[in-house]
Amino acid sequence: MTDKGALKHAGIRKWVDEVAAMTRPDRILFCDGSDAERDELIADSLATGELIELNQQKMPGCYLHRSAPHDVARTEHLTYVCTAAKDDAGPNNNWMAPADAVARLTPLFSGAMQGRTMYVVPFLMGPPGSRFSKVGVEITDSKYVVLSMRIMTRVGQPALDHLGASDDFTRCLHSLGDLSPDRRFIMHFPETNTVWSIGSGYGGNALLGKKCMALRLASWLAKKEGWLAEHMLILGLEDPQKRMHYIAGAFPSACGKTNMAMLVPPKALPGWKTTTVGDDIAWLRPGSDGRLYAVNPEAGFFGVVPGTSRRTNPTAFDMIQRNTLFTNVALRPDGTPWWEGHDDPAPAQALDWQGRPWTPASTEKAAHPNSRFTTPATQCATLSPEFENPEGVPIDAIIFGARRQRRIPLVFEGRNWQHGTFLGATLSSETTAAATGKVGVLRRDPMAMWPFCGYNMGDYFQHWLDVGAKLARPPKIFRVNWFRTNESGRFLWPGFGDNLRVLKWILDRCEGRGIGVETAIGAVPTTDAIDRTGLNLTDADMAELLKVDPAEWVEAIAGQEELMQMFGARMPKPLRTEHEELARRINSAITPPDLVGRDSGT
Ligand code: OXD
Ligand code: MN
């Protein structure tokens, strides 16, 4: 870390001066991504209590951060897209006019860094040397944010090399402010490629390379430049014939993307191997061969901790044993972290995520349900050899998944890109602890991008159709649902590694094999089409998992009508056509054709 004098780039210098004039820090430090810088930041954070050292013998390089108790998740109601025209932000975003947003936040930022150090963090999203990659610079007064950005992005020289003399970088301004939710705002200005975030130190609100830049602003840039920025994992699957396939999967927050990105094949399916390219964000571009190529713009994983164990995700569990920042987990007396769903039983005593004494008799959770790990991708044992490939990986199939107890079958296939886009656009999911608000409430989440699309989603759907039209060999599109329950509330599908059985059917379908029956909603596997070798799952359970009950879909169609109306003239016509077609198919599945004939008097 050096003082600002080391900053050579004129555009960055100018912006830093402007921000410093407003925020008035005591010191300005320029981050270079070096090990010495990390050591200094950690030592300072330990001294101030922003970090707590974990047991360095058992977990070298691991630290615990406790956030303010009311700053534990993304705050979507305080997140805005500030475009000149309100309609460009769309009904999917909170909107404020750019000048009003600046006027609202300037007093909050004014003097906010007095008595603090201002860190300037140049970072690269995407592999060095890739046409996919983009540069950002985050200015922050939080050491925890700098340490996290160092894990989640490529900080320092790779960013400056990519930028060269260009002024084309995302300006990401962050201050902890006073951490009050009453003075917390996460403002995006897509027209000037800028983010202003104040009042939160939480990942998605404060690590501005992630949701703010790599999704909200990137989605806007992607629309302009002809690519897609998506809330998707990227998984490599090597089949027993040693052929490599890649799947991109969009799931809402905290619905198992990290687990799926590190899927361990079940023993009953020998010869399969998985590799991890990404667990949260994919940037996808048409390639010259007519296929869709993906890179993961991030350099680390910011995963949900509770439920992570040797049983559910051994790769992640191993990966977080070193050089990992834990946020809001419980602390055992031996200086190691613990959380609900850990392999070890609950400790007799511990400190909970707020540092309060905790015992198994406590009524509250020891770890916060949205506690997180931040860990370098290079520690993932299944990291794909293609992780840094500047060209990305070719995607064979896209899956849209959500957390749904009812109605949605385990898997079904879209008829083509347009129908697949419709399947993504009509995704809904039960809410999780990743955002503040009630958990378990069904909400619309098109393409799992509702909180992350930086512009009007009607235009975004059209953009999906436009990108598809450029692909001579588009990926096939599927919907999946690992979370269907039976009448007594038991999950019907084992999930985790066994999801490979579903992916295998998907790949079979991509290659013209795989048995499916056409239904009103798309092609669904027959009960014996998914390999159940070694799985204790009855025919009846399988039939229940794959059931398409037209009566249940009537409600879904009514909900889709609301979506159509919400976007009015900006909803692309082809998606309306798909909606009408679904309604027609469902109606005729409910009303047998001979009755249709009799009712209409023909
Ligand atoms: C995340 C989220 O942190 O989606 O990835 O909230
Ligand atoms: Mn996410």
Give residue 537 CA to ligand 1 midpoint distance, Å: 32
The answer to whether residue 413 scores a pLDDT higher than 50 is yes
Give residue 578 CA to ligand 2 midpoint distance, Å: 28
Task: Identify the residue whose tokens are 């994992």.
Answer: 233
Contact 277, 245 (CB under 8 A): no
Give residue 302 CA to ligand 2 midpoint distance, Å: 8
CA neighbours within 13 Å on the CB side: how many for 215?
21
Q: What's the Cα-to-Cα distance from 29 to each of 2, 140, 160, 389, 549, rounded to whole Å?
A: 6, 10, 16, 32, 61
169-179: pLDDT as tens digits: 999 999 999 99
| Residue 142 structure tokens | 């939080």
The answer to whether residue 257 scores a pLDDT higher than 70 is yes
The answer to whether residue 458 scores a pLDDT higher than 80 is yes
Q: What is the pLDDT of residue 448?
A: 97
DSSP 150: H
Cβ neighbours of residue 345 under 8 Å, at least 6 residues apart?
none
- Average pLDDT over every residue of 407-424: 97
- Average pLDDT over every residue of 20-43: 97
The answer to whether residue 599 scores a pLDDT higher than 60 is no
For residues 377 and 554, what is the distance between their CA atoms, to the nearest angstrom? 44
Of 435 and 52, which is predicted with more confidence?
52
436-450, 465-479, 505-519, 526-540: which has the minimum mean pLDDT?
A: 436-450
Q: Across all residues in the chain, what is the average pLDDT?
A: 95
262-293: pLDDT as tens digits: 999 999 999 999 999 999 999 999 999 999 99
Q: Is the CB of 149 under 6 A from ligand 1?
A: no
Among candidates 321, 371, 293, which has minimal Cα distance to 66? 371
Q: Is the CB of 203 under 6 A from ligand 1?
A: yes
The closest-lying atom of ligand 1 relative to the alpha carbon of residue 434 is 6
pTM of the predicted model as reported, rounded to 2 decimal places: 0.96
Q: What is the pLDDT of residue 7?
A: 80
| Residue 318 structure tokens | 């191993």
For residues 426 and 440, what is the distance between their CA atoms, to the nearest angstrom? 18
Pocket test for ligand 1, best of 186, 216, 231, 253 (most atoms within 8 A of CB): 253
Cβ neighbours of residue 211 under 8 Å, at least 6 residues apart?
74, 204, 451, 452
97-129: pLDDT as tens digits: 999 999 999 999 999 999 999 999 999 999 999
The closest-lying atom of ligand 1 relative to the alpha carbon of residue 73 is 6
Give residue 255 CA to ligand 1 midpoint distance, Å: 10
The answer to whether residue 137 scores a pLDDT higher than 80 is yes
Task: Identify the residue whose tokens are 């309306």.
Answer: 576
Q: Is the CB of 302 under 6 A from ligand 1?
A: yes
Q: What is the pLDDT of residue 433?
A: 83
The answer to whether residue 442 scores a pLDDT higher than 90 is no
User: Given pLDDT bands bounded at 50, 70 and 90, which one contains residue 600?
Assistant: very low
189-220: pLDDT as tens digits: 999 999 999 999 999 999 999 999 999 999 99
Q: Is the CB of 204 under 6 A from ligand 1?
A: yes
Q: What is the pLDDT of residue 598?
A: 44
Cβ neighbours of residue 80 under 8 Å, at least 6 residues apart?
89, 93, 94, 95, 96, 101, 185, 186, 187, 188
The answer to whether residue 591 scores a pLDDT higher than 80 is no
Give residue 253 CA to ligand 1 midpoint distance, Å: 5
Pocket test for ligand 1, best of 79, 186, 302 (most atoms within 8 A of CB): 302
The answer to whether residue 354 scores a pLDDT higher than 50 is yes
The answer to whether residue 438 scores a pLDDT higher than 90 is no
Q: What is the pLDDT of residue 27?
A: 96
Contact 586, 553 (CB under 8 A): yes
Ligand number nearest CA of 303 is: 1
The closest-lying atom of ligand 1 relative to the alpha carbon of residue 204 is 3
| CA-nearest residue, atom 3 of ligand 1 | 204
Cβ neighbours of residue 198 under 8 Å, at least 6 residues apart?
105, 108, 109, 112, 174, 175, 176, 177, 183, 184, 185
For residues 506 and 272, what is the distance between their CA atoms, to the nearest angstrom? 14
- Average pLDDT over every residue of 346-370: 98
Q: What is the pLDDT of residue 597?
A: 43
Complete edge-to-edge strand list for the sheet that includes strand 337-338 = 337-338, 330-331, 350-351, 357-358
The 3-state DSSP class for residue 256 equals: coil
Burial string for 580-592 (b: 16+ CB within 10 Å, else e) reads eebbebbeebeee
527-568: pLDDT as tens digits: 999 999 999 999 999 999 999 999 999 999 999 999 999 999
The closest-lying atom of ligand 1 relative to the alpha carbon of residue 435 is 6
Q: What is the pLDDT of residue 594?
A: 59
Active-site annotation, residues: 255
| CA-nearest residue, atom 4 of ligand 1 | 253
